[in-house]
Each structure stands twice: as structure tokens, then as C-alpha cells.
Amino acid sequence: MKNLNLTGLVIGILFFYSCSELKESSIKYKIDKELSSVFESEMPGTAVIAIKDGETLYRNAFGLANVELKVKMEPDMCFKLGSVSKQFTAVAILMLEEQGRLTLEDSILKFFPGYSLEYKGVKIKHLLTHTSGIKNYTGFNNGGKVIKYPYTPEELVDIILNKPLDFKPGNQWKYSNSGYTLLAKIIDNITKEPFHKFIKENIFKPIGMENTCFADDELVTPLLVNGYRKENNILKTAEYMSMTHTYGAGDIISCVDDMAKWKKFLLSGTIISDHNLKKCFTPYMLNNRSQTNYGIGWFMDKYRNKTRFYHDGGVYGFQSFTMYIADEDLYIVILKNRSDIYFKLPSDVLGNLIADIILGYEVDSKDRIAIQLTGEQLNKYVGVYQFVTSPGKRKISLSEGKLYYERPPRKGDQWSQTEIKPESKFSFFAEGKRSTILFQFNEKNEVTGLHVNQAFGRVVKLKKKSNYKFENNYINQNVNQLFNNYLNFLK
């Protein structure tokens, strides 16, 4: 009898593990199938990791790390993170706050004396949450210098703080790399050591992020893949830029394994307190008590009615994306060595697709999952769009919280409307149609155009005409005037 019981126990254990392995292999097979359809084997690619409840359920790479030499992409290779780097700068500031070396209510003039008193009302909390009103320095010509040339942190600060504010601090939310560059210099000023050294000694080393470093224009970086872009349907190497330009806002190089370590330690409470961690994942409140969709170093939106925390990044030749669904303890990192964000599927759509597979939702490449955007967020897409290669035009309009893609009338005076739904900041779709509308953004986070990726492979490109007037008869003169006033406001 004992032998029978023991045999049954062994069989049960083997069955349990075989089921677990089968489930994992099924997840890997499904994700591999989806990603291999997006990333061609002879083109720039991606490295991906997905971790749930502390267990790595998926880790793989696709495409090439070096197209010229046909070097295959591997999961342990490194990429430039771009704006995902902001998470590290933000946490360093919160560490200093917990040490009593600053407060989030400190005016930035405490650290940058001698600049205009207009900046007195700008506090550290405003820099962290993109509510400072400080102009985004990557959106102008940086004092006449171009990004191919190096900057010192002091030069960047001087460029940033010699421009007037766009709005009163705390009144609006507007993404600004400038804020995080100033935060890096504040860390430098307080600690009396270089910002990069502080991050290495207090974050990278304790966590064990052995393959993570700061980009250097001259040093060789082990395992760093080459960056690429596509222009006029031709693959090109990434344009050169001095990474000094991204100081504090986007200058970290890392890999998916190290980013997994980052998430583990960040959420463990060993780097910053639970109190400050909660601030990172809580929407910041503006002066008028309205909520933004940004905490500290993390955006937030909805995935299948669950809160999704995420941040994306882009720097010449590279894209990065991290997302965390707290209700499922699911963390996904997608790193790419290709900078054209409109390539097939944006990273956040891929992230949701991977999440669907892991969480057991039925996945069909034809299925589209809409996310929620506010009316204010949708407003930025509204306008008239001109075909790049022909005189025709299309409109994007907003009505009762819904966005519409409009075509001019063939007969009569009514434009035809099709509701389009967001599956990411960049990508929209219409129910029952397989085309995808991919909006294009400039460095100021303004919509500049759209691409219609049609189901049969054709791509139609349109450029946004901000001051273009409507000519269809069904819009009355008053509405027309109001709309054009709005378009002029966007300029």
C-alpha cells in the first residue's frame, strides 16, 4: 500500500510539472509565433522578457543585432533606453529626499541661483511630473548647436533656464526632457559627485545590473547592438547624436535581464520606501485638482480594465518599452534596435499582445483591443490631413468623446465618418477593418501626420495641415471659425 501511495505521489508530481512545462511551452510558442511575424530574421530586431509573479515566463530575441555583419540578436544584448532612463533619475531624487537632502517642495532656484525669478515657483515635484512649464529643450535648436556635438550639463542647464515658461507650474501637463536634465544636475550639485557615478554606486551596483551603464560617445560598450532607422522604405544606420544631449533624460544603456532586476528591487521597497513608491504609481494632480496620466517616471492607462503602468523611450536607432500590470504582477520589457516607431506594430501594442497570451486571453492577430484615452488626449489628433503625394485630404474629428476618420463626400455634402479606436498612443483601428492608422509625432509630442497601413500592405501617408480650413458645406461658419481657432491654438 505504501508503495502504491508513493507511486501515486510521484506520478502526481510529474503530472504537475509536465503541465507547468506544457503551459510555459505553449506561451513561448504563441509569443514566438506573433513576434516572428513582426520581426524579420534579416532585419533589425528586438529582445523581450516577460515576468509574472517573480517567474520568467518568456525571454527571447528576434532579428539582427548587426545587419551589416548578419549578427543574430540575443536576449542578453544591450540597447539604448531613451526616456525609460527617467525612472532611474526619478528614483535617485526620491532616495535623496528620504535622506533629508532635499524636499519635493524645494524651488529649483535653490539649486540654480542667478536665473530668472520666473522659475521661483518651479519645484522639484513639477520636474518629476512634467508639470513645470519649462520648455522641452529637445524641441528647439539648443542655443544654435546641433545634437551631433557634445554638451556639458552646465551648458544644457543654461540653454533650458534661459527660455520663458510655457505655463504656470502645476497648471498643465506637458512632457519635457528638460525637467529630468535639471533633476540630474540637482543630484550632481547635492551629492558633490557626478550624476552618473551616483546612479552607478547607489542603483546599478546594489541591484546587480552588471550590463547597464551610461552611454558614452567615445567608449566601447560591450554587447551594445547597432541602431537603425528606415527612411523612404530604405534601411539606414541610425543618425549620429552625442548622448551628452540626453543627460538625465535618456542616456542609459541596458538589457532585458537587468531591467527585470530593476523591477524586482524597485517594487521590493529596498531602494525607496513604499510611501514614495506609491507616488510613482499615482496620477499627479494639477492645480485645478484634475488628474494627469503620469505619476513619477511612469505613465498609466488601462489594459482590459486593469491599470497598466508603462514608459516608452526612443533615441536615434532605438526604442524601449516597459509595462507593469500590478493586478497580475506582470512585467514586460521590449527593446528594439530600430527607431521608426510606425513599423508594423508599436511596442505598447506588442506588450498588450504578450500580456493577452500570458494571461490566457484568446489571441487572434485580427483582434484589436481598444484602450481608454481622455477627450483632452484625443484632441491632439483632430485636424485636416493632406495626402503627401496627391491633392486629396482626410479629417480627424472628435465628437462626444469618440474620434472619427472622415472622407470627403462623393455625392451630396456629407463627409463619411468612421469611428477609430486607440490601441496605443500611436495606433488606431476601426471595428471590422484590418487597416491601421498610425499617427506620427515630432519631438514636441505634437501630431504631424498619419500613415494608413492598409490590409493588403499598401501604406498611404498624410501630413497634418494645422491651419487648413474646412470647405464642406455642412459645417456652418461659426463652427468652422471655432475649429480654426482651435487649430491655430495648437500651432
Q: Which helix (H) or strand (E) holds 353?
A: helix 347-358
Domain count, the chain: 2
For residues 352 and 384, membership in a common domain is answered with no
The string of DSSP letters for 252-280 reads: EEE-HHHHHHHHHHHHHTSSS-HHHHHHH
Q: What is the CATH number of the domain that holds 91?
A: 3.40.710.10
CA distances from 325 to 24, 268, 331, 349, 459 (A): 19, 16, 7, 14, 33
Same domain, 381 and 288: no
> Residue 432's pLDDT is what?
62
> How much is the pLDDT for 382?
95
Sign of the Cα pseudo-torsion (341, 343, 347, 348, in order)? positive
**Do residue 342 and residue 428 come from a single domain?**
no
Query: Are 280 and 418 within one domain?
Result: no
Residue at 63 is within a domain: no
302 and 235 within one domain: yes
User: Are 77 and 57 contacting, i.e. CB atoms less than 8 angstroms apart?
Assistant: no
Q: For residue 351, what pLDDT is reported?
A: 92
**Which residue range(s) make up the domain with 115?**
80-358
User: Which pLDDT belongs to residue 480?
Assistant: 41
Which residue among 358, 385, 404 closes a domain? 358
Domain harbouring 413, CATH code: 2.40.128.50
Residue 309 inside a domain? The answer is yes
pLDDT at 143: 45
Among 314, 332, 358, identify where a domain stops.
358
Are 442 and 350 found together in one domain?
A: no
Low-confidence ranges of the chain (pLDDT < 70): 1-25, 139-146, 340-345, 362-367, 390, 409-414, 432-434, 443, 454-459, 466-491
pLDDT digits (tens, 9 = 90+) for 187-208: 999 999 999 999 999 999 999 9
Burial category of 74 from C-beta neighbours within 10 Å (exposed 0-12, middle 13-18, buried 19 and up): middle
Query: Which pLDDT does position 138 carry in this prediction?
Result: 81
Q: Specify whether the CB–CB gap between 91 and 271 falls below 8 A.
A: yes
Same domain, 268 and 395: no
Residues 343 and 379 in one domain: no
Nearest alpha carbon to residue 461 among 381, 370, 392, 382: 392
On whether both 340 and 280 belong to a single domain, the answer is yes
Q: How much is the pTM?
A: 0.76
188 is written with which cell numbers? 550632481
User: Which pLDDT score, from 0 to 100, does residue 441 have?
Assistant: 86
DSSP character string of 99-115: TTS--TT-BGGGTSTTS
CA distance 119 to 113: 10
* Distances from the Cα of 248 to the Cα of 86, 90, 128, 196, 323, angstroms: 7, 9, 12, 9, 21
Residues 177, 304, single domain; the answer is yes
Domain boundary residue among 308, 325, 358? Answer: 358
The answer as to whether 214 is a domain residue is yes
